[in-house]
Structure 1
């Protein structure tokens, strides 16, 4: 395990600690690091290992590279792990030999990765997923016929967690390949609800290509094929597809379709509690977040609706972090467009506190931080630090 020399690391830790209005003791407690260690690091009397740096960065709601002197978005642990992820999916049908754990342990590993995705812990996914995907591929190809459906379902779920990293960190070709693998494995699982969740995720390829009308058609086809909404999971699967369709219809500037799909999602959300179904959060709170997203996607006179929602409601703390941070990112854009840039900056800071990795890699955050910097409407030092953090121009 490498240890970093002091350089600017200790000074950066002290700077961000003061910015967060934390004492050294509070930082030590939050990072589970000895108080004496924190003091020596800040004074430059000792180096800091990668593990300790990650713990301190997490306590400060930062990515570890921000505390390094050689930090930069191209050198984050996630970016460094992408080649290994690409290599393992290239061999999905001819995996390397190696051990495989029993099926219950594989289920637990896949659930853990899904939890990391929902809480926007992308570094953990990037580090663990190549080995897990290789192991699942070995298990699938060696399995008896009666076990293949279960393993195919696990592969779909694991590919989805890996795709979250690829898509959020701008590796769009890798994301598209992972989605193709989800579409390959889903029929093998024989689970129509899993197939619906793959259709939900596939929309990323249409967002990336700005092929919004085509994406809407694909989602409407998926809705036609989805099971009737009888059980809770069936209701959630259909509702999630309607949520996604509402957003992409908004991007296509099809207000009528956006409103129709949003209303369908709202009606379905009234029938079940907020929860995570087949890997997708759905319920009344998720639909309200998507109402903001639809308003921002439609733009113009619709943006005011996003501000109305935010005045009346905030996402509860028990919603997945990725979804909550997304709400504040969308809200910031609506506030910026509405001429209240100080509020927009506050929303971006809230998004960062909730899910720093998700916020830092979001292209809208970089765009809006650049705009805010030009407007110079917030405290210049704080805004400059934020813009530097998210690599805004």
Structure 2
């Protein structure tokens, strides 16, 4: 069966409101969401935007993940992804126990190759592959880092922790993502790498963005930029600096601070002009294309959906762009198209998001929210719309 309309976020918002014995007016007062917007979101007339979800979560003092229904337990179980989470948690817990006497780790060069392969797998949308391998590699990397106590050993371990963060984020385990980030910071400090320290602040800011805590996120962006000033001048430093500005642009956009958002975008564009396309530098996909892609996202966050769609004109995605980033972009485009009533185009963008990285798209809140928003217009869409909903709510054939 296709995705059930009774499962949309507005229904969850209503249930969470009633559980707390609140009226719609009380929620509006607590959250600052306009009354008409809130009531229509509860009814499913309007899709729940990230800004509305964040405001609702802040007002009721609950997690954003609770509002959007993450992690999607039934689907994770069907895809046999849920059983991979506990080993990752356990691997993160042994960070300070020193070398495991029962482990005989391989050479650091081999572990570095594995760390690189994990980063590539995540960006290819192969989440299950990364999730299956990262726990064991964290354990091996932990023993190696403690045994060698070298910069290279600690930074390799930090890379494994980053993959744990990526997996946890994409599957909707926000607490595990936060723990992975804390471990990444712990290892990178031992590796004394200011650029990695700046990137840690960037990833941490994104975590707060997802939680709707924009003020904290903006402070973390500022801290990250300050941390990077301690690093030697290099293209690597410029790439991470530019990516921090892109993160700050989305943060400010979601907070509806247009001037700050555009200021971050302009600075990122300036930096991208000097770095060029730097897709593989820390696998941040930074460069002129990513600036254009983020402009689409920022305009959508500012509720300028028509301008967001226009910003896609002439946007050419490079062939070497990671599939995960392509999928995320098309999810954002689909949202903007839905809000401008370009129903067929929006569904086509969802299909492109799925085609690029099916495992990621299936667990992407924007994909699910946009699909729910299109549900009311399904009579104007092909039969494949219903099969897309079936795929969202069950095990998909592409998951390997």
**Category of TM-score, reference length = shorter chain:** 0.7 to 0.9
1:129 aligns with 2:140: no
Q: Specify the alignment match of 2:103 in structure 1.
A: 98
Moved over 6 A (4+): none
Task: Within 5 Å, give how 1:1-393 maps onto structure 2.
Answer: 72-94=75-97, 96=100, 97-143=102-148, 145=149, 147=150, 149-227=151-229, 230-275=233-278, 276-299=280-303, 302-391=304-393
1:201-250 alpha-carbon deviations (Å, 9 max, x no partner):
11232023210121011101211221378421121111011011101111
Offset of 1:278 from its aligned partner? 2.1
- 1-structure distance, mates of 2:194, 2:81: 32
Aligned residue number for residue 35 of structure 1:
none
C-alpha RMSD over aligned residues = 1.7
Tell me whether 209-218 or 272-281 shows the greater mean CA deviation: 272-281
CA distance in 2, matches of 1:214, 1:377: 43
CA distance in structure 1 between the partners assigned to 2:78 and 2:88 by the alignment: 16
Helix, strand or coil at the partner of 1:281: coil
Residues 377 and 198 from structure 1, CA distance in 2 versus in 1: closer, same or farther, beyond 3 angstroms? farther
Mapped to 2, the partners of 1:311 and 1:240 lie a distance apart of 23
Partners of 1:183 and 1:198 within 8 A in 2: yes
* Alpha-carbon distance, 1:90 to partner: 1.3
1:158 to partner: Cα distance: 1.1
CA contact (8 A) 1:341 1:377 kept: no
Displacement of 1:122 in angstroms is 0.5
Tell whether the 8 Å contact from 1:373 to 1:387 is kept in structure 2 after alignment: no
Distance 1:150 1:132 in 2: 15
Moved more, 307-316 or 150-159: 307-316
Q: Give the whole-Å Cα distance in 1 for the aligned partners of 2:233 and 2:353.
A: 35
Deviations 1:261-313 (A, max 9, x none): 000000000112212212311111111111111111111xx222221121221
Post-superposition offset of 1:380: 4.8
Q: Give SS of 1:310's match.
A: coil
Greater shift, 106-115 or 230-239, is seen at 230-239
Q: Is the 8 A contact 1:262 1:291 kept in 2?
A: yes
Contact 1:253 1:298 in 2 (8 A): yes
SS at match of 2:201: helix
Deviation at 1:377, TM superposition (A): 4.5
With normalisation by structure 2, the TM-score equals: 0.76
- Secondary structure of 1:318's counterpart equals coil
Partners of 1:346 and 1:113 in 2: how far apart? 30
CA distance in 2, matches of 1:204, 1:85: 21
Which structure would you say has the larger Rg?
A: 1
Distance 2:152 2:119 in 1: 17
Structure 2 distance, partners of 1:312, 1:160, is 33
How many aligned residue pairs are there?
317
- Kept in 1, the 8 Å contact 2:197–2:227? The answer is no
Provide the C-alpha distance between the structure 1 equivalents of 2:326 and 2:206, rounded to a whole number of angstroms.
19
1:93-129 deviation line (CA, Å, top 9, x unaligned): 2264311001110111101111111112101101111
Question: Which structure ranks higher in relative contact order (CA pairs < 8 Å, sequence separation ≥ 6)?
Answer: 2
- Tell me the distance in 2 between the aligned counterparts of 1:229 and 1:265: 19
User: Contact 2:168–2:174 (CA<8 Å) still a contact in 1?
Assistant: yes
